[in-house]
Chain A
Amino acid sequence: MDRVIPLDLTRLTVRELNHFLHHDLPTGDAVRVEILNPNGMHNLAVGLDAPAEIDILGHAGYFIAGMNKRANVTVHGNVGWSVAENIMSGTVRVKGCASECAGASGHGGLLVIEEDASSRCGISLKGCDIVVGGSVGHMSAFMAQAGTLVVCGDAGGSLGDSLYEATIYVGGKIHSLGADAQEEPMTAADMARVSDLLTKAGIARDLKSFKRVASKRSLYHWHADAGQEY
């Protein structure tokens, strides 16, 4: 059985918490850290670089598990802006909803939002996979360069605006596509990719409803002849 280390934020400052997670985590054992009374506080469990299991028991604030490497962080509640910003590896799971900019510029690893994510989810994504059990808000995957955004519910306006090489899959309705984003046919490889990510996320959905959105690549190069009319 895992050894559980409780860390109570009514007794510790956020700085003390993160210092412990960076420097004092026991190595070698299967360790699970429970962060108690997060009460919407920001910057919890940021900059981790250890194969630790972290459970945040309650609603948390901004920048939760930012820059995460190797750790598996689960938030048992909602999070504010920019959860798992610049995630490198590991898994960040939010059992509730996430506010804006979830997974912004994430390089690797997996971010799971079990309920809804707000606007600009996966903005400037650079290789991370994001699975959202519910819907995402407007301007999601804006300028996303690599990685995958799977949205089981609906997507808000301007989805995938100025998209590079990231791929978006949407199970529900798309309110509107952004500039240079287009819907494309789902191939067997796409089906396998969505299936694999949903399995990793522990979310069961009917694969048949998913649509693929990718870049038209017409904004990649500046065309002098286009007279700025793209």
Chain B
Amino acid sequence: MCGIVGFLAKKPEFVQSLGEHVVPMLTCMGDRGPDSAGLAVFGEPVESSLRRFSLYAPDRRFDWSAFEQQLATRIGGQIELNALENHAVLIGSVEPVRLKAWLTETHPALHLLSTGRAIDVYKDEGHPSDIARRYQFTQFRGTHAVGHTRMATESAVSPAHAHPFTAGEDFCLVHNGSLSNPYSVRRKLEKKGIRFETDNDTEAACRFLEWRMSEGDQLETAIQKGFEELDGFFTLLMATADKLILVRDPFACKPAVAVETDEYVAISSEYRALAHLPGVKNARIFEPVPEQIYSWTVSSPST
């Protein structure tokens, strides 16, 4: 059992208060997934010459200011580092491939959680309410967010095994369920030179979909191919820089409920995680049907 949550703001005031709406959702779904949690937040993209990188240090006492100085000396270019606890968001002009190679060589313990122009990812071990408090999720602003609370069933409990998973740029995925063929998917992708960071089944789904997109598919087309390739149970919630997308497996084995108003779209595993949202009691609430792709696009400006 795991919990998923998603939120997309349609009005500027909901962009400003995104974290306040999402944190009770995530905390409530802690009942479904108390061992680890994560949240991906999408905001106004940085300009095209820059990238945002979310970094995680297993050591809570990691010296981020020394790291920033090293970056300035060894990598150079424009660099801005905002660290909180053992997490940091780096905004820089460095090429993602170059940064990744440098991190692997000089800071192998650091984990690169996400890359893109709009995405920040936070994930860690522990109860979702503790993680939300540690990284101050209630302060977050953004157009949309995807969160996950994990009760591990098929691979280890670790920050790296927590969701959201990311691949490529500005793409993330959370999963409630279990895949039965992650290793065959993985073997196919590894032959194409795609590298995995964990033995988690969800990572296989995430990298499969990102591989299809890197081959030119739209996400919706990639998901259609995913229905043929991925075997098992899944409710998948995905986000790109401007979209929130939800699908359920052909048997709809894992739950999902969605609500849409003029002000926001909210998705969760269970209605009780949505019950606090403004206007929800009289809103259109629906259960997504199996194998249908539900997609919402960000329309409002993020300021």
Contacts and interface: CB of A to CB of B under 8 A. Distances in A.
Q: Do A and B bind each other?
A: yes
Interface of A: 39-42, 58-59, 61-62, 77-78, 80-81, 97, 99-100, 118-119, 137-139
Interface residues of B, number: 17
B58 interface: no
B272 A137 contact: no
Contact of B270 (A58, A80, A119): A80
A118 B276 CA distance: 24
Given A58-B281, A99-B287, A118-B287, A40 B255 contact: no
B294 to A, nearest CB: 15
B272 A78 contact: no
Contacts of B265: none
B252 interface: yes
B237 interface: no
B101 interface: no
Given A40-B272, A41-B272, A61-B271, A138 B281 contact: no
Given A119-B252, A137-B252, 16 more contacts: A40-B272, A41-B272, A59-B271, A59-B281, A61-B271, A62-B270, A78-B285, A97-B285, A99-B255, A99-B257, A99-B287, A118-B252, A119-B290, A138-B251, A138-B252, A139-B251
9 contacts: A40-B271, A59-B285, A62-B270, A80-B255, A80-B270, A119-B252, A119-B290, A137-B289, A139-B251
A77 B281 CA distance: 9
Nearest to A99: B287
B255 A100 contact: yes
A51 to B, nearest CB: 29
B252 A78 contact: no
Interface string B243-281: 000000001100101000000000000111111100001
Nearest to B289: A137
Contact of A40 (B275, B286, B287, B290): B275
Most chain B CB within 10 A, of A39, A77, A78, is at: A39
B253 to A, nearest CB: 9
Nearest to B281: A58
B229 to A, nearest CB: 22
Contact of A80 (B252, B271, B286, B290): B271
Given A58-B281, A59-B285, A99-B287, A40 B270 contact: yes
A59 B281 CA distance: 8
B287 A97 contact: yes
Interface in B117-156: none
Nearest to B273: A40
Contacts of B273: 40
